[in-house]
C-alpha cells in the first residue's frame, strides 16, 4: 500500500503501466517492483523449477524472484528485474515462467512433485537410454523449467558502445563512494562516478540516518549537485560496472533508454569500456537471508529492502510486519515502519541477549520455523524457548547480516578472505591492481566508517597519481555496530530455500554433500545453486555455510567460489552494439560501383567488397545466359572488368628486390625494369599463402599485386617478415590498393580498345608502362587472368568511375562490353588459373603443380617446411581438371571417389574446388584436387555431392582447358 | 581521349547534429614519407626546409597550409602540399586518392568519437597537434586534432560506412541530449 506521505517519488507525475495485462498507476521515481507493491500486487513471478508463486525479495539488481518480461512493439526482454526497471508512462510487462499467468500457473504441478525433483534428479532419472537425453528429455525439461522467453525476432533497437578514461573511477555512490568522488574531484582528478541506480546515494536513499547534521538523502543530493557542476567529473547513473579486466579496464552497462518509452535513435543500453588509473570500489553490501522453513512466500523479503520500500518509495510492504533478524541493523526496519505508521507484530531475534525494541515485542532466542499463505504470506510459526507460537502477519522482514559486494575484486582470480569477526567474506589484498575497496564492500558497515573509508581510499588513490588531496572535513554520521550473531539456516519441517531463483534448498545442498559433491565448486554445479541470473548474490554464502556445516569443515576451509564477470546480466546486443546486420563489417565500394548498378548488375559480396555478378542484357533471364555472353565476348571480342579490389603494395628501397626474393618462391631480383612476373608466396609452414604479379617500376621499386581475399593477410605477412627477419633492409612499403582504380581490358580486340584511348604502347606480354590516360598519369600492364590478350589500366581512384564508363562505352561500340564476376570466374577456370578456392590454406606448391616455381637457387619463406615428408608425392591430392561425362552440372564442394567404390569418407579420393559452365568448351568444367591426380589424366572418377544430390562420372584432365600453350595471351 | 571525369569518394552536405558537425574535407595532395634506415635526420631536415618536419610518433607538424601527420612506424603523410624531393632518403608514395577525410567539430565531437574510437581523447591526453592510427569502430583510421576539431581519414572504399557510423552516433547523441533535457 502506498503511504500517504514521504518517499523520493514525484507524486505530481503519475504514470500508468500494465502488468500481466492489467492497468496500474505509479509515480515518477517508482520501480516496477515498488509500483506493483503499492498496488497490492504480491505475486510477480514463478520459480524456476517448482513454479512457486514469488514476490519481491529485494529492492536491487540482485533480485532473484521478481524477474519479468518487458514488452514493447512485438519484442520482449526477459529476466528484467522488476526492482531495477523504472516505471514510465506506457510500460508493459508480464510475469514469466508461468502459463497462463503468474497467478494461475498449470506447471505448479511441479511443486507437488517436489519430493522427486531434488538436486541431481534429472541426471539420475534420465540416464537411459543415452540418446534420449539430447533428443527428448532435455527439450521437455527445458520447456517446463525456464527463465523467460525471447520474442524470436531480431532485436533491431539501437544500442551503443563507448570508451571512457579517467584518473579515478568510483564504483557506487553510497556514503563511501560519494565521499571518495568528492575528495578526488576537489583535488582535481578526472573522476567517473558510476552508480547502478537511477539516483545517486546508495543506502542513504533507503535509510533514515543523518549525515553531517542533515538527513543522509539530503547530504547525498548536495554532494551530487556539487559534483555535477565540476568539469572534471562524469556522473553516470543507471550504470552498472560489470567486470574488472586487465590494466585498470572495466566493463560497464548503462541503461540509457530503458526507463522511458522507446524513442527513435535513443540507445536502449550502452556498453562502456572504462580505463581508470585508480579505482575506488564502493559497491556496498547485500543483505543475506536466513534459510528457515517455507521462506519463499510472497511477502517475505529482506529487512533492508523493506526499509527501502518504506523510505524511498513510500510503500508499505505489508499491514502487519514481523522482523526476523540476527543483527542490530534490522532494528532500523522496525523503527522506520513504526514511524511510517505500519504495525510491527513482533521481532523474532535468535540472539538470546538481544536488546528490547520500543513499540513492539521482541522474542529473544527465537526462530521462524514455518509459514503459511500460498499466494502471499498470512501466518508464521516461531519457536521460542521450545514453544511454538503462531502470528498473523503479511510481511516478514528477514536479515541474516550483510555480505560485502566484493564481486569485482574476484574478477582477476583473487579469492575473497573470510573475516570471522564479522562473519563475512571481504576482498583479498590487492585483488585487482589499482582498485581500492572501501566501505561496506570491504566489511565496514556503519555510515561513519563508510565515509571515512571513502575518504581514505580517495587519498590513497590520489597519492598513487601524485595529486595532492583536497582537505575535506569528514561529516558526522551514525557509527552503530552491526552486532550480528551468525544464523544461516533454521531446522524444521518444510523446504528452506537458499537460491530462490533456481529453487535450491538446504536439503539439496546437504544431499549434494552426502552424494560426494562436497567441494563448493561441485555442490554449485550439482545443485545449480548460484547459476541463475542473480549468480548467487543472494545464496552463495548461505549455501556455503550450510555445506560447511554438513561436511564439518569451517567456512574459510570450504572457501567461496570466485565470482566472474559480469556482475549483472549484460545483453549481447549491448556488447555487440552496431554490429547487427550490415553493421557487422564495413562495406567497400569500388569506383565503378554506381556504373555497374546503373547497368542493372546484381552486386555480390566478395569479402567486404561489392562486385558486379554479371551485366544483364534485355531478354536474358538467368545469370548463365549473361555469363555465357560475357565469356564469349571476351574470347571473341573485348571485355572490361573492374579489378581494383586486388591488393596493391608499393615496395621501395635498395633491398626491395632482395626482399621479394625472400618472400616469393621464385626470383624477382632478375626481373627487368618495365616487366611483370607471376609470383607464388608461401607461409612459414610451407603451404601456399597467396599468388599474384609484381611489376618492377624501377631498380629499387616494385608494385606487388595480391589476390582480393588475401590483400590484408599479405600486407601483414610482409610486415612480419620485414620486422622479424629483415629489419635492417633498406626497404619501405605501403598499400596503394585504395589509391588506384584498375580495369582489365581483355580479348582479341583489347589492343584496339587501348589504342582508341590514344595510348600507343607496343607492350610485350608481362610488360608494364607509365602512360597518359587522357591528361591523367596512369599505368598500363599487359597481364591476363582470362587467357586472352589482356591489359590492366590503372588511374588514380578519383578518375576510376569516369574511366570505367568510358572503357565500357568504347567496348560496347566495338561489340564488347563489361563483364562480371561470374564470367571472370568461368574465364579463369577455362584457363586453369587458381584462386583462393584452390589455395585455401591446405595446399602446397606441389599440389597446385607449381613445385617448379620454388627456386632451387635461393631460400625463401616456407621453402624448408615445404620439403617435409608427406607434402610432395603421389599421396597428395593434386590439382586436376574435371569434365562431367554427359551434359550435367557439377558442384564445388563435391567429393571424388573411384568408380565402383561406395561414396563414403574412407574411400575419399579428393574434392572439387571450382566449377563453371563453359560456353567455350561446352558443358561444365571443374577444378579439383585428386589423389595422385597428375598421373590420372584421362581416368574416370565418380563425383558425389551428398548435399545437392549430385552423382556423376567425370573424366580427369589437365587443369588448363583452354589455349594450353598460352599463345592467345602472348599474341 | 579527354581527361576522365574526377569523382569524389563521397558526396554529402555537412551534417550537424548532437552538438557537432560532420563534413567532408579535401586536405589536398597526400604523400607518404617513409625514411630509409639511417636517413631520419636527413628527411627531417629536408622537410624542415619546406617549413615542416618529420613528426614524432602520434604528433602532427603544421606548416603553411600543410601538415605532416605521423601515420605509423617510420611513416608520416605530407598533406596539403607536394612532398619535397626525398630521392634516396625516403620512400615516397602518392596516397591522395586512397583516403577519404572527414572533419568532426563542435562541443560534442569528443563525446561522439569516444563511441567509435578506443582512445583517450580527453583534451589533456589528445590535444591539438596529436595524431593516432586507430580504428573508427571497425574501419581503419588516421585521426588527428587541430584547433578546429578532429580530422578522420579512412580508406576511400569505406567512405559510406564511415559516414554512416559517425552519423548514427550523432543521432544517438542528439537523442541522449533530448533525454537529459527532459529529465
The DSSP string of A368-394 is: EEEEE-SSS--EEEEEETTEEEEEE-S
Q: Which residues of chain B are within 8 Å of residue A730 when distances are taken between CB atoms? A: 36-37
- Please give the share of chain A, as a percent, with pLDDT higher than 70: 95
What pLDDT does residue A83 have? 97
**Residue A256 burial (CB < 10 Å; 0-12/13-18/19+)?**
buried
Give A-chain residues touching B34 at CB under 8 angstroms: 652, 732, 734
Euclidean distance between CA atoms A555 and A541, whole angstroms: 9
> At CA A202, angle to CA A421 and CA A91, rounded to 5?
130
Does A65 have pLDDT greater than 80?
Answer: yes
Q: With contacts defined as CB-CB under 8 Å, which chain A residues touch B161?
A: 586-587
Q: Which of A549, A597, A497, A581 is nearest to A293 (CA)?
A: A497
| Count of residues making up chain B | 183
Cβ of residue B88 closer than 8 Å to a chain A Cβ: no
- Which residue is it, cell 613445385? A851
Q: A421 CB contacts (<8 Å, ≥6 apart)?
A: none
Collect all residues of chain B within an 8 Å Cβ-Cβ radius of residue A652: 34, 91, 93
> Phi-psi category of B49—alpha, beta or left, where left has phi over 0 and alpha has psi -120 to 50?
alpha
Residues A520-530 pLDDT 10s: 999 999 998 99
Q: Is residue A4 scored above 70 in pLDDT?
A: yes
User: Is A625's pLDDT higher than 70?
Assistant: yes
The per-residue pLDDT for range A404-416, each reduced to its tens digit, is 999 999 999 999 9
In the predicted structure, residue A693 carries a pLDDT above the cut 70: yes
pLDDT digits (tens, 9 = 90+) for A569-608: 999 999 999 999 889 999 999 999 999 999 999 999 998 9
- A106, with CB counted inside 10 A (0-12, 13-18, 19+), is exposed
Cβ of residue A821 closer than 8 Å to a chain B Cβ: no
Which of the residues A86, A89, A165, A275 would you substitute to probe the B interface, choosing the one with the greatest number of B C-beta atoms within 10 Å? Answer: A165
Say which residues have a Cβ less than 8 Å from residue A296's Cβ, sequence separation at least 6: A47, A52, A54, A65, A495, A497, A500
- On whether any CB of chain B is under 8 Å from the CB of A588, the answer is yes
Question: B38 to chain A, minimum CA–CA distance in Å?
Answer: 9
For Cα atoms A784, A789, A792, give the angle at the middle one, nearest 5 degrees. 50
Which of A69-78, A106-115, A252-261, A489-498 tops mean pLDDT? A252-261
For A446-468, the three-class secondary structure string (H helix, E strand, C coil) is CHHHHHHHHHHHHHHHHHHHCCC
Contact criterion met (CB < 8 Å) for B117 and A163: yes
Write the pLDDT tens digit of every residue in B126-163: 999 999 999 999 999 999 999 999 999 999 999 999 99
pLDDT at A480: 86
Among A734, A756, A771, A796, the residue to mutate for chain B (most B Cβ within 10 A): A734
Give chain A positions within 8 Å (CB) of B157: 588-590, 609, 738
Give the pLDDT confidence of A110-138 residue by residue, as tens digits: 676 676 666 666 666 655 666 666 666 66
Q: What b/e sequence results for A72-103 when a residue is b if at least 16 CB atoms lie within 10 Å of its CB, and e otherwise?
A: beebbbbbbbbbbbbbbeebbbbbbbbeeebe
Mean pLDDT of chain A: 94
- The dihedral formed by the CA atoms of A851, A852, A855 and A856, expressed in degrees to the nearest 10: 90
Q: What is the pLDDT of residue A903?
A: 97
Does residue A145 register a pLDDT over 60? Answer: no
Looking at the predicted structure, is the pLDDT value of residue A463 above 80?
A: yes
Hey, is the C-beta of B127 within 8 angstroms of any chain A C-beta?
no
Partners of residue A597 on adjacent β-strands: none
pLDDT of residue B2: 73
* Helix (H) or strand (E) run with residue A738 in it: none
**Shortest alpha-carbon distance between residue B54 and chain A (Å):** 16
Contact A47, A296 (CB under 8 A): yes
Q: What is the pLDDT of residues A719-757, one digit of tens each?
A: 999 999 999 999 999 999 999 999 999 999 999 999 999
CB contact under 8 A, A263 and B4: no
CB proximity under 8 Å: A 266-285 to B: 266-267, 273, 275
* pLDDT tens per residue across span A327-340: 999 999 999 999 99
In this structure, what DSSP letter does residue A39 have?
Answer: T
Q: In this predicted structure, what is the pLDDT of residue A531?
A: 87
Residue of chain A nearest B155, judged by CA positions? A738
Asked if residues A237 and A198 have their Cβ atoms less than 8 Å apart, the reply is yes
pLDDT at site A374? 87
| Nearest alpha carbon to residue A275 among A164, A401, A140 | A164
B34 shares contact with chain A (CB less than 8 Å): yes
DSSP B4-28: PPP--S-----EEETTEEEEEE---
pLDDT at B75: 98
Confidence tier at A102 by pLDDT (50, 70, 90): low
- The string of pLDDT tens digits covering residues A918-950 is 999 999 999 999 999 999 999 999 999 999 999
- The predicted-structure confidence for A357-402, as pLDDT tens digits, reads as follows 999 999 999 999 999 998 999 999 999 999 999 999 999 999 999 9
Q: Are A149 and A76 in contact (CB under 8 A)?
A: yes
- From B182, which residue of chain A is nearest by alpha-carbon distance? A260
A532 pLDDT band (50/70/90 cuts)? confident
Residue A736 forms contact with B (CB below 8 Å): yes
CB atoms A275 and B138 under 8 Å: no
Asked if pLDDT for residue A42 goes beyond 90, the answer is yes
Three cell numbers, residue B8: 569524389
Q: What are the C-alpha distances in Å from A766 to residues A758, A861, A918, A960, B85?
A: 21, 25, 26, 19, 30
> In this predicted model, what pLDDT tens digit does every residue of A202-261 receive, in sequence order?
999 999 999 999 999 999 999 999 999 999 999 999 999 999 999 999 999 999 999 999
For residue A146, pLDDT over 80 is answered with no
Using the predicted structure, report yes or no on whether residue A849 has a pLDDT greater than 70.
yes
- Out of A165, A263, A728, whose CB is closest to B122? A165
Is the Cβ–Cβ distance between A782 and A794 less than 8 Å? no
Choice among A345-359, A491-505, B82-96, B125-139 with the minimum mean pLDDT: A491-505
For residue A312, list its beta bridge partners: none
Enumerate the residues of chain A whose CB falls inside 8 A of the CB of residue B137: 578
pLDDT of amino acid B183 = 60
Give which of A86, A163, A659, A740 to mutate to test B binding, by max B Cβ within 10 Å: A163
Question: Cell triple for residue A568?
Answer: 549483472
pTM of the entire predicted model:
0.93
Whole-angstrom distance, CA of residue A679 vs CA of residue A849: 14
Nearest residue, CB atoms, B137 vs list A256, A578, A728: A578
**A257 interfacial to chain B (CB closer than 8 Å):** yes
A25: left (phi over 0), alpha (psi -120 to 50) or beta: beta
Kindly tell me the number of DSSP H helices and DSSP E strands found in chain A.
24, 50
CA dihedral A303, A308, A311, A313 (to 10 degrees): -140
Query: Around Cβ A674, how many Cβ atoms within 10 Å?
Result: 16
Contact of A631 with A638, CB cutoff 8 Å: no
Q: For residue A803, which of A785, A787, A815, A791 has the smallest C-alpha distance? A: A791
DSSP B166: H
Choose among A260, A734, A802: nearest Cβ to B5.
A802
**Residue A679 near residue A660, CB atoms below 8 Å:** yes
Confidence of residue A46 (pLDDT cuts 50, 70, 90): confident
User: By the CB < 8 Å criterion, does A742 face chain B?
Assistant: no
Of B7, B35, B37, the CB nearest to A801: B7
- Within the 516-545 window of chain A, which residues sit less than 8 Å (CB to CB) from chain B? none
Residue B37: list chain A partners with CB under 8 A: 728-730
**CA distances to A329, B16, B25, B121, B173 from B114, in Å:** 43, 18, 21, 7, 11
Beta bridge partners of A650: A703, A734
Please state the rounded mean pLDDT for residues A89-114.
Answer: 76
| Residue A971's pLDDT band (cuts 50, 70, 90) | confident
Round to whole Å and give the CA distance between B54 and B56. 7
**Per-residue pLDDT for A162 more than 90?**
yes
pLDDT of A99 reads 64
Of A204, A745, A179, whose CA–CA distance to A453 is shortest?
A179
Look at residue A807 in the predicted model and tell me its pLDDT: 97
What local confidence, expressed as pLDDT, does residue A73 receive? 83
Q: What is the pLDDT of residue A138?
A: 64
In angstroms and rounded to an integer, the radius of gyration of the C-alpha atoms of chain A is 37
Distance CA A441, CA A242 (A): 15
Nearest Cβ partner for A586 among B32, B138, B174 = B138
CA dist A708 → A298, A302, A887, B5 (Å):
63, 62, 33, 26
Distance CA A207, CA A310 (A): 9
* Cβ(A363)–Cβ(A382) below 8 Å: yes
Could you tell me if A384 and A363 are in contact, meaning their C-beta atoms sit under 8 angstroms apart?
Answer: yes
Secondary structure element (H or E) that encloses residue A550, with its range: helix A540-551
Return the sign of the alpha-carbon dihedral for residues A864, A866, A871, A874.
negative
Q: Which element (helix H / strand E) includes A349?
A: strand A343-349
Q: Give the residue from A310, A362, A300, A301 showing the smallest Cα distance to A336.
A: A310
pLDDT in tens, A749-790: 999 999 999 997 789 999 999 999 989 999 999 999 999 999
The C-alpha R_g of chain B, in whole angstroms, comes to 18
Amino acid at each position: 500500500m502506498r503511504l500517504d506521505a514521504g518517499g523520493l517519488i514525484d507524486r505530481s507525475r503519475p504514470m500508468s503501466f500494465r502488468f500481466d495485462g492489467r492497468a496500474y498507476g505509479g509515480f515518477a521515481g517508482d520501480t516496477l517492483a515498488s509500483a506493483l507493491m503499492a498496488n497490492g500486487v504480491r505475486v510477480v513471478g514463478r520459480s524456476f523449477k517448482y513454479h512457486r508463486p514469488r514476490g519481491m525479495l529485494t529492492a536491487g539488481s540482485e533480485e532473484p524472484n521478481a524477474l519479468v518480461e518487458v514488452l514493447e512493439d512485438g519484442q520482449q526482454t526477459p529476466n528484467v528485474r522488476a526492482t531495477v526497471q523504472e516505471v514510465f508512462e506506457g510500460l508493459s510487462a508480464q510475469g514469466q515462467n508461468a502459463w497462463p499467468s503468474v497467478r494461475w500457473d498449470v506447471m505448479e504441478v511441479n511443486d507437488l512433485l517436489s519430493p522427486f525433483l531434488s538436486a541431481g534428479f534429472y541426471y539420475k532419472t534420465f540416464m537411459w537410454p543415452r540418446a534420449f537425453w539430447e533428443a527428448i528429455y532435455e527439450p521437455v525439461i527445458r520447456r517446463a523449467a525456464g527463465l523467460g522467453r525471447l520474442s524470436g525476432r531480431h532485436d533491431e533497437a539501437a544500442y551503443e558502445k563507448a570508451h571512457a578514461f579517467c584518473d579515478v573511477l568510483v564504483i557506487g555512490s553510497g556514503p563511501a563512494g560519494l565521499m571518495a568522488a568528492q575528495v578526488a574531484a576537489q583535488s582535481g582528478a578526472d573522476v567517473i562516478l558510476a552508480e547502478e541506480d537511477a539516483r545517486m546515494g546508495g543506502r542513504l536513499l533507503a535509510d533514515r540516518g543523518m549525515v553531517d547534521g542533515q538527513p543522509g538523502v539530503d547530504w547525498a543530493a548536495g554532494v551530487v549537485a556539487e559534483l555535477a557542476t565540476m568539469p572534471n567529473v562524469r556522473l553516470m547513473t543507471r550504470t552498472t560496472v560489470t567486470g574488472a579486466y586487465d590494466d585498470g579496464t572495466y566493463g560497464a552497462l548503462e541503461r540509457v533508454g530503458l526507463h522511458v518509452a522507446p524513442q527513435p535513435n535513443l540507445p536502449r543500453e550502452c556498453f562502456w569500456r572504462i580505463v581508470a588509473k585508480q579505482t575506488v570500489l564502493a559497491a556496498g553490501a547485500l543483505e543475506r537471508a536466513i534459510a528457515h522453513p517455507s521462506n519463499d512466500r510472497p511477502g517475505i523479503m529482506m529487512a533492508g529492502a523493506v526499509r527501502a520500500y518504506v523510505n524511498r518509495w513510500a510503500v508499505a510492504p505489508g499491514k502487519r510486519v514481523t522482523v526476523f533478524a540476527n543483527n542490530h541493523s534490522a532494528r532500523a526496519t522496525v523503527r522506520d515502519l513504526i514511524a511510517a505508521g505500519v504495525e510491527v507484530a513482533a521481532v523474532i531475534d535468535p540472539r538470546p541477549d538481544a536488546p528490547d525494541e520500543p513499540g513492539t515485542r521482541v522474542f529473544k532466542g527465537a526462530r521462524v520455523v514455518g509459514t503459511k499463505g500460498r499466494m502471499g504470506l498470512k501466518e508464521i510459526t516461531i519457536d521460542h524457548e521450545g514453544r511454538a507460537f503462531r502470528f498473523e502477519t503479511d510481511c516478514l522482514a528477514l536479515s541474516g547480516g550483510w555480505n560485502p559486494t566484493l564481486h569485482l575484486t574476484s574478477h582477476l582470480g583473487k579469492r575473497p578472505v573470510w573475516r570471522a569477526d564479522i562473519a563475512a567474506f571481504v576482498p583479498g589484498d590487492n585483488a585487482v591492481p589499482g582498485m581500492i575497496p572501501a566501505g561496506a564492500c570491504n566489511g565496514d558497515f556503519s555510515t561513519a566508517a563508510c565515509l571515512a573509508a571513502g575518504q581514505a581510499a580517495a587519498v590513497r588513490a590520489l597519492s598513487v597519481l601524485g595529486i595532492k588531496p583536497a582537505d575535506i572535513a569528514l561529516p558526522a554520521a551514525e557509527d552503530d555496530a552491526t552486532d550480528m550473531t551468525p544464523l544461516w539456516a533454521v531446522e524444521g519441517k518444510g523446504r528452506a530455500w537458499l537460491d530462490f531463483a533456481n529453487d535450491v534448498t538446504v536439503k539439496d545442498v546437504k544431499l549434494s554433500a552426502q552424494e560426494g559433491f562436497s567441494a563448493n565448486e561441485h555442490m554449485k554445479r550439482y545443485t545449480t545453486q548460484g547459476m541463475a541470473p542473480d549468480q548467487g548474490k543472494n545464496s552463495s554464502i548461505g549455501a556455503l555455510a550450510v555445506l560447511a556445516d554438513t561436511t564439518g569443515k569451517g567456512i574459510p576451509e570450504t572457501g567461496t567460489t570466485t565470482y566472474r564477470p559480469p556482475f549483472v546480466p549484460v545483453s549481447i546486443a549491448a556488447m555487440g552494439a552496431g554490429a547487427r546486420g550490415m553493421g557487422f563489417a564495413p562495406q567497400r565500394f569500388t569506383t565503378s560501383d554506381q556504373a555497374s548498378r546503373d547497368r542493372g548488375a546484381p552486386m555480390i559480396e566478395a569479402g567486404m567488397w561489392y562486385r558486379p555478378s554479371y551485366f544483364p542484357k534485355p531478354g536474358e533471364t538467368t545469370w548463365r545466359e549473361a555469363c555465357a555472353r560475357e565469356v564469349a565476348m571476351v574470347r571473341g571480342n573485348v571485355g572490361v572488368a573492374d579489378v581494383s579490389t586486388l591488393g596493391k603494395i608499393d615496395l621501395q628501397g635498395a633491398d626491395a628486390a632482395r626482399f621479394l626474393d625472400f618472400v616469393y618462391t621464385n626470383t624477382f631480383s632478375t626481373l627487368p625494369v618495365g616487366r611483370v612476373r607471376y609470383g607464388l608466396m608461401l607461409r612459414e609452414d610451407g603451404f601456399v599463402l597467396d599468388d599474384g604479379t609484381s611489376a618492377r617500376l624501377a631498380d629499387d621499386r616494385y608494385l606487388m599485386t595480391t589476390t582480393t581475399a588475401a590483400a590484408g593477410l599479405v600486407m601483414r605477412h610482409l610486415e612480419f617478415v620485414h620486422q622479424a627477419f629483415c629489419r635492417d633492409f633498406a626497404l619501405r612499403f605501403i598499400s596503394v590498393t585504395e589509391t588506384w582504380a584498375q580495369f582489365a581490358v581483355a580479348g582479341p580486340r583489347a589492343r584496339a580498345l587501348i589504342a582508341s584511348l590514344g595510348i600507343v604502347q607496343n607492350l610485350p606480354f608481362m610488360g608494364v608502362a607509365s602512360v597518359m590516360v587522357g591528361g591523367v598519369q596512369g599505368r598500363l600492364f599487359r597481364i591476363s587472368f582470362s587467357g586472352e590478350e589482356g591489359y590492366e589500366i590503372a588511374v588514380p581512384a578519383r578518375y576510376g568511375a569516369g574511366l570505367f564508363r568510358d572503357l565500357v562505352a568504347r567496348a560496347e561500340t566495338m561489340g564488347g562490353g563489361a563483364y562480371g564476376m561470374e564470367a571472370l570466374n568461368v574465364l579463369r577456370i577455362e584457363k586453369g588459373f587458381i584462386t583462393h578456392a584452390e589455395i585455401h590454406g591446405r595446399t602446397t606448391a606441389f599440389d597446385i603443380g607449381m613445385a617448379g616455381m620454388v627456386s632451387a637457387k635461393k631460400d625463401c619463406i616456407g621453402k624448408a617446411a615445404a620439403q617435409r615428408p608427406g607434402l610432395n608425392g603421389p599421396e597428395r591430392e593434386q590439382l586436376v581438371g574435371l569434365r562431367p561425362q554427359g551434359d550435367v552440372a557439377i558442384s564445388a564442394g563435391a567429393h571424388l571417389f573411384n568408380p565402383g567404390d561406395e561414396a563414403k569418407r574412407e574411400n575419399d579420393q579428393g574434392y572439387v574446388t571450382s566449377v563453371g559452365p563453359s560456353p567455350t568448351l561446352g558443358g561444365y568444367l571443374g577444378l579439383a584436387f585428386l589423389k595422385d591426380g597428375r598421373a590420372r589424366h584421362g581416368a574416370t572418377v565418380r563425383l558425389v555431392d551428398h548435399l545437392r544430390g549430385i552423382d556423376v562420372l567425370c573424366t580427369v584432365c589437365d587443369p588448363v582447358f583452354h589455349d594450353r600453350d598460352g599463345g592467345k595471351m602472348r599474341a | 581521349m579527354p581527361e576522365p571525369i574526377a569523382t569524389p569518394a563521397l558526396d554529402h552536405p555537412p551534417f550537424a547534429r548532437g552538438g557537432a558537425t560532420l563534413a567532408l574535407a579535401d586536405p589536398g595532395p597526400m604523400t607518404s614519407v617513409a625514411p630509409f634506415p639511417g636517413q631520419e635526420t636527413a628527411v627531417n631536415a629536408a622537410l624542415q626546409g619546406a617549413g615542416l618536419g618529420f613528426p614524432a610518433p602520434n604528433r602532427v607538424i603544421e606548416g603553411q597550409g600543410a601538415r605532416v601527420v605521423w601515420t605509423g612506424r617510420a611513416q608520416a603523410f605530407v598533406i596539403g602540399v607536394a612532398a619535397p624531393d626525398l630521392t634516396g632518403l625516403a620512400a615516397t608514395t602518392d596516397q591522395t586518392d586512397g583516403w577519404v577525410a572527414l572533419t568532426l567539430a563542435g562541443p560534442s565531437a569528443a563525446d561522439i568519437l569516444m563511441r567509435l574510437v578506443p582512445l583517450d581523447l580527453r583534451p589533456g591526453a589528445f590535444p591539438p597537434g596529436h595524431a593516432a592510427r586507430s580504428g573508427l569502430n571497425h574501419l581503419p583510421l588516421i585521426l588527428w586534432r587541430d584547433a578546429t576539431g578532429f580530422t578522420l581519414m579512412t580508406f576511400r572504399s569505406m567512405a559510406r560506412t564511415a559516414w554512416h557510423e559517425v552519423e548514427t552516433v550523432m543521432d544517438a547523441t542528439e537523442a541522449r541530449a533530448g533525454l537529459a533535457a527532459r529529465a
